[in-house]
Amino acid sequence: MDQTLELAQQALAAANEAKFLANNLWLLVATVLVFIMHLGFATLESGFVQRKNVVNIIFKNVMIVSIGLLTYYFIGFNLMYPGVNEGGFFGFAGFGLTPPEGGMTDAYADYTYWTDFIFQGMFAATCCTIVSGAVAERIKLVPFLIFCLLFVTISYPMTGMWKWGAGWLDARGFYDFAGSTIVHSVGGWGALAGIILLGPRKGKYTEKGIKPIPGHSMPLAAIGVFLLWFGWFGFNGGSVLSGDPELVSLIFVTTSLAAAAGAIGAFVVSYFMFKSFDLSMVLNGILGGLVGITASADSVSVGSSLLIGVIAGILIPLSVTFFDKMKLDDPVGATSVHLVCGIWGTLAVAIFGNFDKGVGEFSDQLIGILAIGAFTFLFAFIVFYLLKITLGIRVSAEEELKGLDIGEHNFTAYS
């Protein structure tokens, strides 16, 4: 009998190892998917800017992901997940990574410490990538990279901690499954601060009205949107933090249907507004649907995900038109996609979410949106402002005219 007991214990341990193995692998696959979203952003933004600014936008995106990973290693991860100070506003677990004593496995979670770091690290740089598109075609390279360094090292992890690091917003009941607010609207607020201080591109808002400045390559933009959708399976699906069969598969469904519904919403409304089949609106409609469902992908019904997506899609042409009326020039529509739909998605939690799953009330959601929004906008505004009065943030009118590729890189994207 002792032998049988031993065998049964061995079998149970092996079964648990197998689960840990599969769960951890799913998080790693999700990491790979989130990683490729950086290519998605790079191609989307490249496609939506003018030919003369393509090297610059790619350069920024390449640097952002590199800076983001390195600073997340040195500081960000331990600022976002201090592991102490529950319910608090700020915490820091020290520089660099300190793997847990006693090993990597079941003591920690359904995945290893390294997996935790690299999955979260891939998210971190996203907030800057969002800003990068909005301030494109007129921002100076070095000040922008300094902004990113500060934004991704300090601002993003701090507000992220408030919820995901068991901080005060988590204690208050705020709910944001995979980051409609914590990732996307954070990027959107940074973008808004940037475009306010930068001002619009020359020739965009003229006395004769708003002059569209079309992007230089729709295939690149479309590649970007498909890759972002592709990566979002990891972004939302990985945020379960395990491979839980029911939950991950439900999230695949809600995420996909919200994206598809976003396309339809933007298609219909932009047709009525502009009397044409507007590809860039439909592409941004998909992204709006994805941002919108991100806060609640795990806790709404499939039918609700359709509504969340279609409303996000409808918001896109309205929001793009609104920002243009306010003369807030955003070449890629990042504020509409990430800020407006990020807010919408965070509120939608309280409207459509399953309260059994612990989603927040409307007031909780609103507090989260406002607190994170206010902190982030102020942080970004102050940093951009200090850069503006010191290094300057805007290229010269001459450089803007000939393009940043020549001005900043002495190179052209095509030859």
Structure-token pair, residue 107: 């003591």
CA geometry: angle at 307 spanning 306 and 308, to 5°?
95
**Is the Cβ of residue 215 or residue 342 nearer to a second copy in the bound state?**
215
Asked if residue 235 binds a second copy (CB under 8 A), the reply is no
d(CA 411, CA 167): 46
Segment contacting a second copy by CB under 8 A, of 1-9, 322-330, 346-354, 379-387: 1-9
We find the least distance from the C-beta atom of residue 160 to a second copy, in angstroms, to be 19
**Is the Cβ of residue 195 or residue 220 nearer to a second copy in the bound state?**
220
**Is the Cβ of residue 355 or residue 411 nearer to a second copy in the bound state?**
411
Closest CA to 161 of 75, 35, 240: 75
Asked if residue 1 binds a second copy (CB under 8 A), the reply is yes
We find the least distance from the C-beta atom of residue 381 to a second copy, in angstroms, to be 26
We find the least distance from the C-beta atom of residue 82 to a second copy, in angstroms, to be 19
Member of 48, 52, 53, 58 binding a second copy (CB under 8 A)? 58
Asked if residue 169 binds a second copy (CB under 8 A), the reply is no
In degrees and rounded to multiples of 5, residue 204 shows phi and psi of -80, -50
d(CA 205, CA 194): 17
Member of 101, 206, 208, 219 binding a second copy (CB under 8 A)? 219
Asked if residue 269 binds a second copy (CB under 8 A), the reply is no
d(CA 26, CA 20): 10
We find the least distance from the C-beta atom of residue 83 to a second copy, in angstroms, to be 18
Which of positions 294-353 make contact with a second copy (CB under 8 A)?
302-303, 306
Member of 7, 84, 370, 374 binding a second copy (CB under 8 A)? 7
Member of 150, 186, 225, 349 binding a second copy (CB under 8 A)? 225
The count of residues interacting with a second copy (CB under 8 A) is 115
Which of positions 76-105 make contact with a second copy (CB under 8 A)?
96-97, 103-105
Member of 120, 132, 159, 256 binding a second copy (CB under 8 A)? 256
Member of 48, 52, 53, 67 binding a second copy (CB under 8 A)? 67
- 117, containing H or E segment: helix 113-124
Q: 119 vs 24, 175, 234, 235, 298, CA distance in Å?
A: 11, 20, 9, 9, 18
d(CA 304, CA 283): 21
Closest CA to 60 of 122, 148, 179: 148
Closest CA to 295 of 385, 242, 357, 249: 357
Which of positions 29-48 make contact with a second copy (CB under 8 A)?
29, 31-33, 35-36, 38-39, 42-43, 46
Asked if residue 149 binds a second copy (CB under 8 A), the reply is no
Which of positions 170-199 make contact with a second copy (CB under 8 A)?
none
Helix axes 186-198, 156-164, angle to 10 degrees: 150
**Is the Cβ of residue 126 or residue 346 nearer to a second copy in the bound state?**
126
Structure-token pair, residue 40: 């998605």
d(CA 403, CA 84): 48
**Is the Cβ of residue 253 or residue 374 nearer to a second copy in the bound state?**
253
Asked if residue 159 binds a second copy (CB under 8 A), the reply is no
Q: b/e for 375-394, b at 16 or more Cβ within 10 A?
A: bbbebbbebbeebeeeeebb
CB 117 within 8 A of CB 128: no
**Is the Cβ of residue 131 or residue 227 nearer to a second copy in the bound state?**
227
**Is the Cβ of residue 114 or residue 362 nearer to a second copy in the bound state?**
114
- Would you tell me how many other CB atoms lie within 10 Å of the CB of residue 373? 21
**Is the Cβ of residue 242 or residue 376 nearer to a second copy in the bound state?**
242
Q: 3-state SS string over 134-160? A: HCCCCECHHHHHHHHHHHHHHHHHHHH
